[in-house]
Structure 1
Amino acid sequence: MNELAASLGNVYLGAADTTNAAIWSYVLLIALHPEVQRKGQAALDNVLNGRLPTFEDWNTIPYVDAIVNETFRYSPITPLGVPHVTRTDDVYEGHFIPKGTMVFGNLWALLREEEIYGPNVDEFIPERFLNQDGQVDSTKNYYLYDTAFGWGRRICPGKDLAHEMLWLTAASLLATFDITNPVDADGKPIDPVGINDKYTQRPVSMPPFFTVTVKPRSPVVESLIREDIEEVF
């Protein structure tokens, strides 16, 4: 039981910084791309009919999932992945890798492979994850969606938790608020072009400092938020 508790604790602790970074990236990106924000809001409004989103809505609002997937792709939380060490000598595509070598999987480069993600990989385009009918493209293999979390036996064990947390956060914010006017620490408007170059150069990459204007979308939405808060507290 203690080992199980420790394992679960590691999942939650490991997701603390990374999930926080993903949420802040999401907020900045939808503020910088109002057309994506409006499209996501319209998709939610068409399904929710005046209520707040739940996980049961996941499969009925594919555009929101596309926004989440594009957030993970466009601004990967760990651009160089998590380092691994070879346990034995190995050869990969003619390259000798001795035992004890630290190996990084360059997630940044992998997530910008045009053969996989299509053209304009340096642009924030959620539609790349959808088919022509606007549904999640199920013909793609897992590589398209999970690369940001690593691969194989060493894939992030908390990837499903992280994806679910960001999806619910993304859907809830889109359904309830307009997020606009992103400005930097000096109060200057942030240019979406080259924004990734301003992220912190650390193992967990965070967006640059920014502020946004957040307003409830309507009095009805504001009332729903207050009711939800009262139920929790």
Structure 2
Amino acid sequence: MPYGDPWRMIRKIVHNNLNITATKSYVPYQDLESKALLVELLDIPELFIDHLRRYTHSLTTQMVFGFRTPSIDDPKLKQLFWVHGKTSAALLDLYPVLRSLPDAVLSERRHAKQLHEKSSELFVGLWLDVKKAIKNGTAKPCFCVDLVRAQEEENISDELAAYISGSILEAGSDTTAAELVSFTQAMILFPEVAKAAQEELDRVCGHRLPTLEDWPNLPYIHGCIKETLRWMPTVISGAPHGLIRDDEYMGYTIPKGAGVLPNSWAIHNDPKRHPDPRRFDPTRYIHDQSTAAESANNPDPTKRDHFGFGAGRRVCQGMHVAERSLFLAISRLLWAFDFRPARDEAGEEIIPDPENLTEGTLSQPKPFPASITPRNKEKVTLIREEWAKMEALLDEEQQWEILPEGLKWKDVKTVPKEA
């Protein structure tokens, strides 16, 4: 969507409902899902990639639509993976003249129409489900409950509201999961980092699970988060920007309307900014305890920690949510588990290749095996005890039956349009 009044209206809505203060009420969702992740890794560690994807997707469906995704086999989750896994209109963006070709010749346009139908079916269905839940009095606190109000105030159609919420679902699910897969690979390739992080966690947290309150006392863990986002940026080309006026760069004229890619990968791997860039080294940030939002707002780009959340007007508005999710996952995973290379039938270690990445808009390591084992029996016992407390709040379908303390319910008395 180009910069203009509709874009500003959508950004305002998203900011009002995804700002740092508003999203603090969703911390109980993040707490529950990170504990569910630990239990899943205890039970079936070899499916760690599936567990990481379920973790981030369930977090996002709760914060956006108010329901959990308790299983990787959830039909809606599979539908989202299908939509997200298809190629985009990159060819048309690079060569706009191709847009004049008929559908019979341009397969990308036919594919785009099919993709639109599938994504519309998913997103509109999820949006209308929330409106029905509000009418029935069963809706849980989430972004869409607040979006219902904005729909009336801004005269937004159901389709646009569905795509606003659906875009947040897409942006918040796969990207964070990809970073956690990258982090897991880094812990295998750089075991000294995992050891140093565990020493910090043991010193600060002891035998209890890390919490968000530990953040100021875990600078090395904070460094692990920043380094993960630098070492393996999910959107390696960076979010595309469009010029609103003619510009010039290094003698090149860039016309108004042209697309510009920040190239996060090149910035993150510039040895002048980051010496030995392919080495995973959290100590790069040991003296930088700025949050993602604080760093993103730094007017001096040379002092940015990384560009994993984008820059400028297109910067990720949910970066503080993602940062909290990464902190809880990374700190608790390292507190609970050891990460080692898997072994083949001959007993030889299988070392993952950090250059073997998926292709497409979102990049991450291709699936690799790993050995993930609990650090000791005491941690296993505590994890299961903590999950038992969480399960007591869920119904038989593993959805919230009792809202935990901290979640804010905002009363919605009207639904603007019939669902």
Bucket of the pairwise TM-score, normalised by the shorter protein: 0.7 to 0.9
Partner Cα separation in structure 1 for residue 377 and residue 349 of structure 2: 28
Q: Structure 2: which 5+ residue stretches go unaligned?
A: 1-146, 152-160, 392-419
Instruction: Say yes or no: does 1:158 pair with 2:318.
Output: yes
Aligned to 1:145: 305
Does the Cα contact within 8 Å between 1:11 and 1:157 map onto a contact in 2? no
Instruction: Say yes or no: does 1:96 pair with 2:256.
Output: no
User: Which of the two has greater strand per residue?
Assistant: 1
Q: What letter is aligned with 1:210?
A: F
Partner Cα separation in structure 2 for residue 231 and residue 29 of structure 1: 32
CA offsets per residue over residues 38-94 of structure 1, 9 Å max, x none? 110110000112100110011101001111111110111111011222233222343
CA offsets per residue over residues 81-112 of structure 1, 9 Å max, x none? 11222233222343211122121111001112
- Deviation at residue 136 of structure 1 after TM alignment: 3.9
Partner Cα separation in structure 2 for residue 15 and residue 80 of structure 1: 18
Does the Cα contact within 8 Å between 2:188 and 2:340 map onto a contact in 1? yes
Partner Cα separation in structure 2 for residue 112 and residue 55 of structure 1: 30
Partner Cα separation in structure 2 for residue 183 and residue 26 of structure 1: 20
Structure 2 residue aligned with 1:79, among 226, 236, 239?
A: 236
Q: Structure 1: which 5+ residue stretches go unaligned?
A: none
Helix, strand or coil for the counterpart of 1:163? helix
Structure 1 residue aligned with 2:284, among 118, 124, 128?
A: 128
Structure 1 residue aligned with 2:187, among 21, 26, 30?
A: 30
Helix, strand or coil for the counterpart of 2:209? coil
Q: What letter is aligned with 1:128?
A: R
Aligned to 2:359: 201
Does the Cα contact within 8 Å between 2:245 and 2:256 map onto a contact in 1? yes
Aligned to 1:212: 370
- Deviation at residue 8 of structure 1 after TM alignment: 5.8
Partner Cα separation in structure 2 for residue 219 and residue 122 of structure 1: 35
Instruction: Say yes or no: does 1:228 pair with 2:370.
Output: no
User: Which of the two has greater helix per residue?
Assistant: 2
Q: Which has the larger radius of gyration?
A: 2
Does the Cα contact within 8 Å between 1:178 and 1:217 map onto a contact in 2? yes
- Deviation at residue 151 of structure 1 after TM alignment: 1.1
Partner Cα separation in structure 2 for residue 159 and residue 199 of structure 1: 23
Partner Cα separation in structure 2 for residue 144 and residue 183 of structure 1: 39
Aligned to 1:50: 207
Aligned to 1:180: 340
- Deviation at residue 152 of structure 1 after TM alignment: 1.5
Helix, strand or coil for the counterpart of 2:272? helix
| Aligned-residue CA RMSD (Å) | 2.5
Aligned to 2:218: 61
CA offsets per residue over residues 124-181 of structure 1, 9 Å max, x none? 11111114xxx7489x965432411111121111211112111110000000111212
Helix, strand or coil for the counterpart of 2:210? coil
Q: What letter is aligned with 1:121?
A: P
Q: What letter is aligned with 1:227?
A: E
- Deviation at residue 121 of structure 1 after TM alignment: 1.1
Q: TM-score, normalised by structure 1?
A: 0.86
Q: What letter is aligned with 1:202?
A: G
Partner Cα separation in structure 2 for residue 149 and residue 182 of structure 1: 32
Partner Cα separation in structure 2 for residue 153 and residue 84 of structure 1: 9
Instruction: Say yes or no: does 1:107 pair with 2:267.
Output: no
Pick 1 or 2: higher relative contact order, CA cutoff 8 A, min separation 6. Answer: 1
Partner Cα separation in structure 1 for residue 308 and residue 342 of structure 2: 25
| Count of equivalent residues | 224
Does the Cα contact within 8 Å between 1:116 and 1:144 map onto a contact in 2? no
Helix, strand or coil for the counterpart of 1:115? coil
Q: Percent identity?
A: 34
Q: TM-score, normalised by structure 2?
A: 0.49
Helix, strand or coil for the counterpart of 1:178? strand
- Seen in structure 2, the aligned counterparts of structure 1 residues 84 and 189 have a Cα distance that, compared at 3 Å, is farther
Partner Cα separation in structure 1 for residue 165 and residue 215 of structure 2: 24
Does the Cα contact within 8 Å between 2:350 and 2:369 map onto a contact in 1? no
